[in-house]
Amino acid sequence: MLDDYARAAIADGTLVEVLGDWSPKLASWFLYYPNRRHSSATMRAFLEFVRRSAR
């Protein structure tokens, strides 16, 4: 999952959770972006990265 990238920073105190009690634990990620027909190569690459990371 994508949170694996932040785990080390959270463990060493570099990154801290803010408002953890107010944030629901989501089972999945949501990404909103413009129409696919007009998306840039950068956006398509990012979407592919997120899809692969979520597995």
pLDDT, averaged in runs of 10, over the chain (55 residues): 74 84 71 77 87 76
User: CA-to-CA distance for 43 and 41, rounded, in angstroms?
Assistant: 5
Q: What is the pLDDT of residue 22?
A: 79
Residue 43's closest CA among 5, 2, 51?
Answer: 51
Q: What is the pLDDT of residue 47?
A: 85
Q: What is the pLDDT of residue 27?
A: 63
Instruction: Give me 28's structure tokens.
Output: 């999945």
